[in-house]
Amino acid sequence: MTNGNEYSLDSLRFLQEFNLNPPLSDSVKLDTLVGEVREIKVMLSQLLALNSKSSLNSSSLGPGSYTAGARSLLTTPASFEVLNDEFKLMKLQVESLATVVNVPIPRAENILYDMSTAEENREARWKDASDRYDKTNVVINLLCETKFSGEDNGILSGKASVEFDKMSRLEKLGFQVVTAINKIIYLFNRDDMESAKIWFEEKLQPKDYLIFRGDLQNYSSNDSLFALGFMSPFQKERLVAVNIYCLDATYFITKRTDEILYTIVIRDNHPGRSFPCGYMITNDHSLGPIVQWLQFLKNKGVIVDPLLFTIDCSDSEMNAINNFFSGCSIQYCLFHVSQAWNRQLVLKVKAVSGIPADNRILRSEVYTYLKMTLYEVDKDVFHARIAEFISRYEATQTAFINYFRFNWCDEAKYNLWSRAYRPVEFSHMLTNSYIESWHNQLKYIFLGRSRNKRLDRLIFILTVEVEYFYEEFDRVESEMITSPSGSNDHVDFDNVAVADSGNWIIDSFIDDNSAYVVFVDDDVSCQK
């Protein structure tokens, strides 16, 4: 351990958060701790964006005391709380709120910022990576032997360096701590793809993960195309026990907007809860990656004889499933069917008057009729509704009726979207709400509402943060005492959807025959 006077005051406080109790120099007497919590978020998309909030506690606290707002940087063995580029530091003040103790800061060795050193020490750093507690100890030990400094950042240049110089010592320390921890736990190479390769070959495969590497150059001359998939033993155990699945894709999961995350999700034992059982990341939007991935899962005995897949309205997903599982039923997610109709309603359905208010009323009327048809369970009534719908709007809404006939009105299509064509036992899978719930959790909980920048960080979150969350959920649930009624009152947050920008059709809560068109603008900021 380095001597206490080699650390800044904030560094000392940081080390104390780990209960390491580094020795303090005689000049530092900590007899007052103020509850000022600084929340530092390093967001690479905006260089360095700092959000601050503070609370003042005028109580006089003894040495080493913690206010109610203070908490350890490491909150769980698997979740460093830093992984969303966010952590909290307590700023110490001595004797007076107006007097801040300054301890001289030497120039840092910055060993964690030297990538060559990081590469050389990678194996040593991860020798205990299979145990989350050991991994935490590795982080702590490295931080203790690293001198942090605000004088030499060693990693920034140009405009970013100018911004770095403007930050306070506390902010600089926060930036360095986050960067150092990131380089320990998920960033193994400057190149994103090389770092991801290390993840697959050296981190996941030794832990018995199923690793899929697509051979996309088998059908394409584009060397930049890739497809990578992975599944933990815990996920595999859950997946092989079922035969009904949801498959869907989500976008904007890294800084490269062409990359897609495909997820296979199953219905969990917990009512209304989804469980992600396998991932594939690709930048190829064609049929190829899905075909190769499903073939891989079939050859590995993970998905052998599926009964049903619920998918988005995707021809590539449907064709890939039919290619390997000819006896499997496929149904479109009814929510996505409604979304597809809504997009065309906005484009093609217009009132004779052309007045926007009249357009909205007409679109709501058309959508309401379509919704009644969509959820009709009697085949004869269903076909009668289709005929009546076409007859009612064919003369005045020709563009939409032509679209509807061509894309949705034949027996093969009815089998994909009509509830009248679906067996009763599949009624709980009529929508992809399970997978939509999972995507909401990923983006708004695990990614913290911010755009993820790197592929290796996404892999870390999926294999450590998410995995730990579901393992802990199962463990805690198994130890819970259930109420005599057989269920515990709870709010089902899995079924709470987050609206993206665009037009949404919102059903009335009190009238089954009413719906409202709502425009959502996700780009509006409430800040002045």
- The 10s digit of each residue's pLDDT in 373-392 is 988 889 999 999 999 999 99
Asked if 26 and 89 count as a contact pair (C-beta separation under 8 A), the reply is no
- In this prediction, residues 214-235 reach a mean pLDDT of 92
Helix (H, G, I), strand (E, B) or coil at 229: strand
**Measured between alpha carbons, how far is 147 from 11 in angstroms, rounded to an integer?**
9
- Cβ atoms within 10 Å of 404's Cβ, excluding its own: 21
Long-range contacts of 349-353 (CB under 8 A, 24+ apart): 349/397, 349/400, 350/397, 352/396
Give 288-345 as a DSSP string. Answer: HHHHHHHHHHHHTTSSSS-SEEEE-S-HHHHHHHHHH-TT-EEEE-HHHHHHHHHHHH
297: phi > 0 → left, psi -120 to 50 → alpha, else beta; which? alpha
The pLDDT value recorded for residue 282 is 94
Q: At what angle do helices 356-374 and 334-348 cross, to 10 degrees?
A: 150
**Measured between alpha carbons, how far is 134 from 167 in angstroms, rounded to an integer?**
33
Q: Where are the beta strands (DSSP E) in 369-480?
A: none
**Measured between alpha carbons, how far is 260 from 271 in angstroms, rounded to an integer?**
28
Is 50 exceeded by the pLDDT of residue 14? no
- Cβ atoms within 10 Å of 457's Cβ, excluding its own: 22
Strand 260-267: give its sheet, edge to edge: 210-213, 227-231, 274-282, 260-267, 244-251, 308-311, 329-332
pLDDT level of residue 191 (50, 70, 90 thresholds)? confident
pLDDT level of residue 327 (50, 70, 90 thresholds)? confident
**273 contact partners, CB below 8 Å, separation of at least 6:** 267, 434, 437, 492, 494
**Measured between alpha carbons, how far is 496 from 373 in angstroms, rounded to an integer?**
25
Closest CA to 112 of 146, 81, 140, 139: 146
pLDDT level of residue 108 (50, 70, 90 thresholds)? very low
The pLDDT value recorded for residue 381 is 95
- Structure tokens belonging to residue 420: 């009248």
Is 80 exceeded by the pLDDT of residue 17? no
Q: What percent of the chain has pLDDT over 70?
A: 46
**Measured between alpha carbons, how far is 35 from 409 in angstroms, rounded to an integer?**
65
Of 129-138, 428-437, 460-469, give the range with the top mean pLDDT.
460-469
Closest CA to 83 of 179, 153, 149, 14: 179
The pLDDT value recorded for residue 190 is 76
pLDDT level of residue 301 (50, 70, 90 thresholds)? very high
Return the higher-pLDDT residue of 12 and 249.
249
Q: Half-sphere exposure of 88 toward its Cβ, with a 13 Å CA cutoff?
A: 17
pLDDT level of residue 177 (50, 70, 90 thresholds)? low
The pLDDT value recorded for residue 267 is 77
Is 50 exceeded by the pLDDT of residue 234? yes
Give 89-119 as a DSSP string. Answer: EEEE--SSTT-------PPP--GGG-HHHHH
The pLDDT value recorded for residue 409 is 94
Return the higher-pLDDT residue of 280 and 523.
280
Residue written as token pair 């034949």: 410
Is 50 exceeded by the pLDDT of residue 95? no
**318 contact partners, CB below 8 Å, separation of at least 6:** 311, 330, 416
Is 90 exceeded by the pLDDT of residue 32? no
The pLDDT value recorded for residue 449 is 55
468: phi > 0 → left, psi -120 to 50 → alpha, else beta; which? alpha
The pLDDT value recorded for residue 424 is 56
The pLDDT value recorded for residue 333 is 84
**Domain residue spans in the chain?**
4-185, 194-333, 335-429
pLDDT level of residue 354 (50, 70, 90 thresholds)? confident
CA–CA distance from 321 to each of 63, 297, 433 (Å)? 64, 12, 20
The pLDDT value recorded for residue 84 is 30
- Structure tokens belonging to residue 352: 């004779």
**Measured between alpha carbons, how far is 110 from 176 in angstroms, rounded to an integer?**
9
Strand pairing partners for 246?
Answer: 265, 310
- Structure tokens belonging to residue 462: 């999926």
The 3-state DSSP composition of the chain as helix, strand, coil percent (nearest 5) reads 45, 15, 45
Return the higher-pLDDT residue of 408 and 108.
408
Return the higher-pLDDT residue of 125 and 335.
335
**444 contact partners, CB below 8 Å, separation of at least 6:** 498
The pLDDT value recorded for residue 102 is 36
| CATH number for the domain running over 194-333 | 3.30.420
The pLDDT value recorded for residue 178 is 54
Closest CA to 250 of 259, 241, 238: 259
- Structure tokens belonging to residue 300: 């590995």
Asked if 311 and 317 count as a contact pair (C-beta separation under 8 A), the reply is yes
User: Minimum mean pLDDT among 16-20, 55-59, 297-301: which range?
Assistant: 55-59
pLDDT in tens, 38-53: 222 222 222 222 222 2
- In this prediction, residues 415-420 reach a mean pLDDT of 89
Mean pLDDT over all residues of the chain?
63
User: Minimum mean pLDDT among 200-214, 401-415, 481-495: which range?
Assistant: 481-495
